């Protein structure tokens, strides 16, 4: 039993840290966000709502500069002020913004926040176990290797979640009559916006799939849907 104590403690610590992170994130979002009210976006958001049989899709504006969208652990959907500015300047269309919201709705509907809690806790316990085992044979670098392995695993799991949310968004956008073209065109724009930061990072270390892979996955879905109609 004693040999498993460090792993159990690591699991409990990871769970506590995740809960603290959720609490801190919620406080930050509450303090720095307001509900987004833009009639130009409301019309496309309402199309998503009708496709989901909801009275409306509520979106909040998070007052930070980076271009991003996110789904909070409590299910709320946010876009950043930086992203909203791209819409205001015409760099991003209303339909492309709707694709972001559809993607974040996918994270909520598919329970990715809950999955992240389970994954994070399990990874921390596994990291501790690996570090204990590897340190016996590789003193001094066993912990480093364990951290590297778990970082690769976390990135792979995150990419899986992103692909799932992309597929959900593609289906929702299609049902709403918006289609997937705005989703794909936004991926291309985001690639250009972020190409100067981390562009040389290997794909298997990235927490998000490569743009080409995301577009190819959506087009594969579209081909499958087309074949099912014939």
Asked whether 83 and 69 are in contact (CB, 8 A), the reply is yes
pLDDT digits (tens, 9 = 90+) for 122-149: 566 566 666 666 666 667 676 666 666 6
Q: Which residues in 136-166 are b (16+ Cβ under 10 Å) and which e?
A: eeeeeebbeebeebbeeebbebbbebbbbbb
Residues of the chain with confidence (pLDDT) below 50: 1-2, 195-205
Query: What is the pLDDT at residue 196?
Result: 44
Q: Strand 77-80 and strand 59-62: pairing?
A: parallel
Whether 183 maps to a domain, the answer reads yes
Distance CA 191, CA 197 (A): 10
The CB-side HSE value for 80 (13 A sphere, CA atoms) comes to: 11
Query: What is the pLDDT at residue 202?
Result: 44
Query: What is the pLDDT at residue 25?
Result: 77
Query: What is the pLDDT at residue 73?
Result: 81
Whether 230 maps to a domain, the answer reads no
Whether 196 maps to a domain, the answer reads no
Asked whether 41 and 94 are in contact (CB, 8 A), the reply is yes
State how many domains the chain has.
1
Query: What is the pLDDT at residue 38?
Result: 95
Domain that holds residue 101: 2-191+203-225
pTM given for the model: 0.74
- Order of all β-strands in the sheet with 77-80: 33-35, 59-62, 77-80, 69-71
Number of helices and strands in the chain (H, E): 8, 4
């Amino acid at each position: 039993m004693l040999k498993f104590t460090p792993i159990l403690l690591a699991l409990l610590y990871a769970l506590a840290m995740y809960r603290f992170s959720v609490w801190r994130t919620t406080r930050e979002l509450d303090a720095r966000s307001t509900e987004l009210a833009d009639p130009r976006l409301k019309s496309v958001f309402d199309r998503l709502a009708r496709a989901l049989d909801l009275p409306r899709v509520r979106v909040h504006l998070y007052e930070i500069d980076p271009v991003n969208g996110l789904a909070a652990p409590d299910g709320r959907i946010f876009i950043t002020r930086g992203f909203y500015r791209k819409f205001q300047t015409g760099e991003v269309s209303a339909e492309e913004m709707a694709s972001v919201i559809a993607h974040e709705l996918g994270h909520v509907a598919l329970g990715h926040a809950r999955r992240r809690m389970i994954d994070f806790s399990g990874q921390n316990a596994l990291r501790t176990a690996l570090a204990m085992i590897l340190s016996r044979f590789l003193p001094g670098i066993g912990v480093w290797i364990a951290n590297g392995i778990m970082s690769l695993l976390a990135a792979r799991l995150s990419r899986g979640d992103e692909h799932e949310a992309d597929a959900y968004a593609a289906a929702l956008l299609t049902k709403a009559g918006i289609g997937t073209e705005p989703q794909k065109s936004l991926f291309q724009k985001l690639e250009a916006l972020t190409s100067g930061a981390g562009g040389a990072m290997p794909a298997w270390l990235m927490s998000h799939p490569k743009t080409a892979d995301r577009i190819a996955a959506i087009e594969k879905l579209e081909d499958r849907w087309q074949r099912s109609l014939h």
